[in-house]
């Protein structure tokens, strides 16, 4: 509701380091962000970990849930067998307007399936897409890539919708005044690529609502020349995992190459502000997670290995999506309405 702070339903039981790291991230977010956090999960476990923190913010509330969908389970089967699992309860909070967003580091397939079953798709969107923000070579500029895993097989119209949703996010959340959309391909020429790429190129070029500037090759993703890059979920997920590995390798190399002993300590102290900025730009944990575009509600899917800093950033990401009315803007655009018809002011 306009004029209120975001209410974030956090799946406290999902992830490799749940619930302790999830709760630690929530405690920090509760203290630093203007949000309400609903910790969804086993009350006894959550309370036990909250007691380990010197002070618990007043904007944290526990919501009871029973069980969790493990990484080894088939999503749909587990969701039906465990209706009171933490991810189901969190999604129901959004469906029943008791929360504005869901954040989960648990089973990503279960999070997507639960979002579709309980929240449904936005009108005009055939398939949801997972969008991830990447740093670029240009300071203070990011690129959003979608889909990075929700749809292994795509049709051209799906990628056209991804481009539309990515444009809205880039403009209103990332603050890009005139976003540039690219189609990930094996060459810049319009005649390059497989049938999916060729047909998608034609659709994007013909859609006046999408600021399409042409094909983007793999080397262009982080160049800063594009603000939105669309691809199918198979290719996008490979790009995502590769980028995460490269970031980890770069950070590891920096640590290894710093001098040892007192010189290393002095050098590290001098370089500390620079190293911190480098980490913020390339470490995937700094981005918190990926937004599931196209469902009727805000859903942030975090990495299964997320620790407290990543959870904090995932909550921040959910808040930004809520504050900037991403879902409402997508609905307005697909329905052909003006913003004022469906996107109320935060001050209303």
So what's the pLDDT on residue 343? Answer: 47
Question: Contact at 8 Å (CB) between 166 and 144?
Answer: yes
84-93, 137-146, 275-284: which has the highest mean pLDDT?
84-93
**Mean pLDDT, residues 267-277:** 62
So what's the pLDDT on residue 289? Answer: 85
Report d(CA 285, CA 35) in Å as an integer: 20
pTM of the model: 0.86
**Beta-strand (E) ranges in the chain?**
6-11, 35-41, 60-64, 101-104, 129-135, 142-146, 181-184, 212-216, 228-230, 290-293, 298-301
pLDDT surpassing 90 at residue 259: no
Report d(CA 82, CA 88) in Å as an integer: 8
pLDDT surpassing 80 at residue 9: yes
Instruction: Dump pLDDT digits (tens) for 73-92.
Output: 999 999 999 999 999 999 99
Two tokens, residue 86: 């933490």
**Mean pLDDT, residues 200-219:** 96
So what's the pLDDT on residue 2? Answer: 45
Distances (CA, A) of 56 to 47, 177, 204, 314: 10, 39, 49, 19
pLDDT surpassing 50 at residue 32: yes
**Mean pLDDT, residues 163-185:** 95
So what's the pLDDT on residue 301? Answer: 94
Please report where in the chains the tokens 């890539």 appear, as a residue. 145
% of the chain at pLDDT higher than 90: 70
All structural domains of the chain with their residue ranges: 6-125+294-324+334-342, 127-291
Domain 127-291: top CATH class: alpha beta
How does DSSP assign 291-331, residue by residue?
EEETBSSEEEE--TT--HHHHHHHHHHHHHHHHTTHHHHHH
Higher pLDDT, 179 or 135: 179
Report d(CA 44, CA 60) in Å as an integer: 15
So what's the pLDDT on residue 160? Answer: 96
Report d(CA 249, CA 241) in Å as an integer: 12
Report d(CA 176, CA 96) in Å as an integer: 33
| Residue 271 binned pLDDT confidence (cut-offs 50, 70, 90) | low
Neighbouring C-beta atoms of residue 136, cutoff 10 Å: 19
Higher pLDDT, 322 or 284: 322
So what's the pLDDT on residue 335? Answer: 75
Report d(CA 323, CA 183) in Å as an integer: 28
Question: Contact at 8 Å (CB) between 102 and 94?
Answer: yes
**Mean pLDDT, residues 88-113:** 95
Cα-Cα end-to-end distance for the chain: 9
So what's the pLDDT on residue 103? Answer: 97
Question: Considering the domain 6-125+294-324+334-342 in this protein, what is its CATH number?
Answer: 3.40.718.10
**Beta-strand (E) ranges in 207-348?**
212-216, 228-230, 290-293, 298-301
Report d(CA 318, CA 301) in Å as an integer: 10
So what's the pLDDT on residue 25? Answer: 95
**Virtual torsion, Cα 258, 260, 266, 268, nearest 10 deg:** 30
pLDDT surpassing 50 at residue 215: yes
Q: Among 10, 30, 66, which Cα is nearest to 301's?
A: 10
pLDDT surpassing 70 at residue 132: yes
> Chain-wide mean pLDDT for the chain?
88
Neighbouring C-beta atoms of residue 61, cutoff 10 Å: 12
Q: Do domains 6-125+294-324+334-342 and 127-291 have the same CATH topology?
A: yes
Q: Is 341 helix (H, G, I), strand (E, B) or coil?
A: helix
| Residue 256 binned pLDDT confidence (cut-offs 50, 70, 90) | confident
């Amino acid at each position: 509701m306009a004029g209120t702070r975001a209410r974030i339903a956090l799946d406290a039981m999902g992830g490799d380091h749940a619930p302790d790291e999830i709760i630690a991230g929530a405690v920090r977010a509760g203290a630093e962000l203007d949000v309400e956090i609903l910790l969804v999960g086993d009350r006894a476990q959550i309370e036990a970990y909250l007691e380990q923190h010197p002070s618990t913010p007043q904007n944290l509330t526990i919501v009871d849930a029973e069980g969790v969908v493990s990484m080894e389970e088939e999503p749909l089967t587990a969701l039906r067998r465990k209706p009171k699992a933490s991810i189901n309860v969190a999604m129901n909070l959004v469906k029943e307007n008791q929360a504005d967003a869901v954040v989960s580091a648990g089973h990503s397939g279960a999070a997507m399936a639960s979002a579709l079953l309980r929240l449904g798709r936005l009108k005009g969107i055939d398939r949801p897409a997972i969008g991830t923000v990447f740093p670029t070579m240009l300071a203070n500029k990011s690129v959003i890539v979608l889909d990075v895993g929700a749809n292994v097989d795509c049709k051209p119209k799906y990628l056209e919708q991804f481009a539309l949703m990515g444009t809205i996010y880039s403009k209103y959340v990332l603050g890009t005044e005139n976003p540039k959309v690219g189609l990930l391909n094996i060459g810049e020429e319009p005649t390059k690529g497989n049938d999916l790429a060729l047909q998608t190129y034609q659709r994007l070029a013909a859609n006046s609502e999408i600021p399409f500037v042409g094909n983007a090759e793999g080397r262009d993703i982080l160049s800063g020349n594009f603000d939105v890059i669309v691809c199918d979920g198979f290719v996008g997920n490979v790009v995502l995992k590769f980028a995460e590995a490269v970031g980890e390798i770069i950070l590891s190399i920096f640590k290894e190459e710093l001098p040892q002993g007192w010189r290393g300590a002095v050098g590290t102290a001098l370089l500390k502000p620079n190293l911190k900025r480098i980490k913020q730009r390339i470490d995937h944990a700094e981005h918190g997670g990926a937004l599931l575009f196209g469902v009727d509600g805000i859903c942030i899917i975090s990495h299964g290995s997320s620790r407290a800093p990543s959870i904090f950033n995932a909550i921040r990401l959910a808040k930004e999506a809520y504050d900037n009315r991403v879902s409402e803007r997508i609905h307005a655009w697909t329905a052909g309405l003006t913003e004022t018809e469906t996107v109320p002011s935060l001050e209303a």
